[in-house]
Amino acid sequence: MPQRIDTSGETVRFTFEGRDVEARAGETIAAALIASGETTTRASVVSGAPRGPFCMMGVCFECLVEIDGVPNRQACMIVAEPGMTVARQTADEVAA
Amino acid sequence: MNSYDVVIVGAGPAGMACAAEARQAGLSTLVLDEQPRPGGQIFRDIEVSDPGRRALLGKDYAEGARIAEAFRASGADYVSGAVVWNIDSAKRIDYSAGGRSHSVEAKSLVAATGAIERPTPMPGWTLPGVTTVGAAQILLKTSGIVFEDLVLVGSGPLLWLAASQMITAGVPPKAIVETVPKSRYRAAARHVLRALPGWRYLAKGFAMMRAVKRAGVPVHRDAEDIAIEGDSAATAVTFTSGSKRHRIETAHVALHQGVVPNQQMTRVMNCQHRFDESQRAFLPVLSEDFETTVPGVFVAGDGAGIGGAKSAAMRGRLVAMRIAETAGKPVSGERAKLRTALARDAAVRPLLEALYAPSDDVLSPADAVMVCRCEEITAGQIREAVALGAPGPNQVKSFLRAGMGPCQGRMCGLAVSEIIAAARGESPSTVDYYRIRPPLKPLLLSELAGLGAEAPREAAE
């Protein structure tokens, strides 16, 4: 299981698939999801297989999610903001 | 449209050092960077990390704070969260920031976009819970997140650095599965004498390995035939080591086979590249002053060939000195000294490159292994396309859509070139690489629409 070695600082809350997720202020959506035990962020385009954050630096596009209704957002590049509604991306939404 | 003497893309050690030096020479300077804060990947979150985190990540990481301070004090303009999506032949740069697109013109352009991790195709590498070692380290740097069941798989200095940092954090990895064959030690031994000026790096490496041993982390050497098991997420990693099959249960696996230059930007500008056999990667063809074959376009940092953070900062400064010289400014007296220091810093590289060359497993994955993660194309499909006559990556792309997903070939490109080269009995330098086209990263239509009345040139492709 993931652990946080440091829980200091402010936190913000957003929802992922309707569930509350806590992020440390300034960290990315992907980091907060991983810390909460969530490793699956989208379905692959061709077979619909589950995928999750892989590179954490904006290169692999495996962490694509829908944020406040906008699809194809890179969860590892976007800082979590209070009240964001984040959802897993389904196969037909992925940009090509 | 805004215009600058120097536009630098990337705010890692190379970009930050280049900007500070360019400002010192009185050049107007803009730095565009994708991340919310400067530092690049190596110094990720350097400005906001507390003393505890810095102590844990080590002296070399803390050194980044000095470079970041000099960058902030330099007076260079800096846009964070800026995604560059096109650069045309007149060095006009289109980028997206804050939900809309902007354009800027550069007299000189510096690509300081660093390195990415080499693709590591193997069975199960697309399962959730599997990341790169770089990703695991980024989670530690930015959020203090560690996995107590993490199994590190592959080879390279970063594998040992990540392990020793986790140990210092009090959460050692569950195991290290190293893919370095015994024959590599003999190959590397030839370079030992030449590497001695880089003894500090060697000492650091041995210290990391000792820390792993002291912490009692199981190390499996000479591992091959690695596979990650799992249905909807990773559950175990299996491999052969010491002629025995092993299986380690875990939900978190981190893969690494070294880092390679991120070529997207120099490719989109049609700079010439060459395949470097020692680094096993494509490098831009550069002059002594790190200028590409496109005049006025420079590459600083690991994008010019892997050299590490110290070299990256020195290359950044040398590039700025050259740009200043071309603009008719007096050349800094430090240039000769910097060149000597850069050569000394590179002394350890041939040894590291020989010892940690990518494993045969990832260079020639089995037919069933998925290589293009986005479009889900296997190594077997690529070999089949070659058998049907595809001579290179661009024809394979047309046949199969490999490299056409959202990552635009970043995750499969090198692997595809290697597989095609092996199937044709040629060198990767002959089969070459994907043609990279704008936009460099997918962007929303609303971001494009915000560019203004003037339509972007060359972006309609």
Is the previous residue joined to B439 through a cis bond, with omega within 30 degrees of 0?
yes
Could you give the percent of chain B with pLDDT greater than 90?
Answer: 91
- B162 CB burial (10 A radius; 0-12, 13-18, 19+): buried
CATH architecture of B119-257: 3-Layer(bba) Sandwich (3.50)
Structure tokens that stand for B367 in this block: 């037919």
Are the C-beta atoms of B447 and B101 separated by less than 8 Å? yes
A56 touches chain B (CB under 8 A): yes
**Which sign, positive or negative, has the C-alpha torsion B326, B80, B14, B264?**
negative
Residue B112 has pLDDT above 70, yes or no: yes
Residue-wise pLDDT for B2-60, tens only, equals: 999 999 999 999 999 999 999 999 999 999 999 999 999 999 999 998 888 899 899 89
pLDDT at residue B456 in the model: 45
Residue B397: its chain A contacts at CB < 8 A?
none
Residue B458 has pLDDT above 90, yes or no: no
The DSSP bridge partners found for residue B33 are none
pLDDT at residue B446 in the model: 84
Closest CA to B441 of A82, A77, A43: A77
Range A11-93 has CATH code 1.20.140.10? no
Which of B145, B169, B407 lies nearest to residue A59, judging by beta carbons?
B407
pLDDT at residue A94 in the model: 60
pLDDT at residue A7 in the model: 83
Structure tokens that stand for B306 in this block: 């892997």
What's the start-to-end Cα distance of chain A, in Å?
33
The one-character DSSP state at B291 is: B
A73 touches chain B (CB under 8 A): no
B35 touches chain A (CB under 8 A): yes
Fold type of domain B364-431: Arc Repressor Mutant, subunit A (1.10.10)
Structure tokens that stand for B385 in this block: 């396309």
Cα dihedral A7/B72/B35/B124 (nearest 10):
-70
Mutating which of B374, B377, B440 best tests the A interface, going by the most A Cβ atoms within 10 A? B374
B119: number of CA atoms within 13 Å, CB side?
A: 29
Closest CA to A58 of A30, A20, A21: A30
Buried b (16+ CB within 10 A) or exposed e, A12-29: bebebeeeebebbebbbb
Residue-wise pLDDT for A9-36, tens only, equals: 899 999 999 999 999 999 999 999 999 9
Domain segments of chain A: what residues?
A: 11-93
Residue B457 has pLDDT above 60, yes or no: no
Are the C-beta atoms of A86 and A72 separated by less than 8 Å? no
Question: Any residues with CB less than 8 A from the CB of A57 and at least 6 apart, and which?
Answer: A76, B41, B116, B134, B135, B138
Query: Residue B319 is which amino acid?
Result: V
pLDDT at residue B319 in the model: 98
Residue B461 has pLDDT above 90, yes or no: no
pLDDT at residue B453 in the model: 42
Residue-wise pLDDT for B184-229, tens only, equals: 999 999 999 999 999 999 999 999 999 999 999 999 999 999 999 9
Closest CA to A14 of A87, A69, A89: A87
- Considering only residues 195 to 234 of chain B, which have any Cβ-Cβ distance to chain A shorter than 8 Å? 232-233
Q: Could you tell me the pLDDT band of residue A95, with boundaries at 50, 70 and 90?
A: low
Residue A31: its chain B contacts at CB < 8 A?
139, 142-143, 145
CA distance B153 to B248: 11
Percent of chain B that is helix, strand, coil (3-state, to 5): 40, 25, 40
Residue A59: its chain B contacts at CB < 8 A?
116-117, 262, 407, 410-411
Which of A34, A55, A95 lies nearest to residue B406, judging by beta carbons?
A95
B235 touches chain A (CB under 8 A): no
What's the start-to-end Cα distance of chain B, in Å?
23
CA distance B57 to B51: 10
Averaged over B220-246, what is the pLDDT?
Answer: 97
pLDDT at residue A1 in the model: 83
CA distance A43 to A90: 5
Structure tokens that stand for B309 in this block: 């953070």
CA distance B1 to B199: 49
Residue-wise pLDDT for B408-436, tens only, equals: 999 999 999 999 999 999 999 999 999 99
Residue-wise pLDDT for B280-323, tens only, equals: 999 999 999 999 999 999 999 999 999 999 999 999 999 999 99
- Element of type H or E holding B249: strand B244-249
Closest CA to B161 of B85, B260, B58, B303: B58
- Please give, one letter per residue, the 3-state secondary structure of chain A: CEEECCCCCCEEEEEECCEEEEEECCCEHHHHHHHCCCCCCEECCCCCCEECCCCCCCCCCCCEEEECCEEEEECCCCECCCCCEEEEECHHHCCC
Å between A44 CA and nearest CA of chain B: 7
Maximum pairwise Cα distance, chain B: 66
Cβ–Cβ gap B126/A49 under 8 Å:
yes
A69 touches chain B (CB under 8 A): no
Q: Could you tell me the pLDDT band of residue A92, with boundaries at 50, 70 and 90?
A: confident
Question: Any residues with CB less than 8 A from the CB of A53 and at least 6 apart, and which?
Answer: A30, A33, A34, A39, A41, A62, A63, A75, A76, B131, B135
Lowest mean pLDDT among A12-16, B74-78, B302-306, B330-334: B330-334
Structure tokens that stand for B228 in this block: 């990650």
CATH architecture of B2-116+260-332: 3-Layer(bba) Sandwich (3.50)
- A8 CB burial (10 A radius; 0-12, 13-18, 19+): exposed
Domains B2-116+260-332 and B119-257 agree in fold: yes
pLDDT at residue B262 in the model: 97
pLDDT at residue B452 in the model: 59
Average pLDDT, chain A: 93
Domain segments of chain B: what residues?
A: 2-116+260-332, 119-257, 364-431
Cβ–Cβ gap B376/A24 under 8 Å:
no
Residue B460 has pLDDT above 50, yes or no: no
Q: Could you tell me the pLDDT band of residue A89, with boundaries at 50, 70 and 90?
A: very high
Average pLDDT, chain B: 95
**Which sign, positive or negative, has the C-alpha torsion B9, A75, B171, B122?**
negative
CA distance B409 to A70: 24
- Element of type H or E holding B341: helix B335-345
| Residue B409 backbone phi and psi in degrees, to 5 | 90, -5
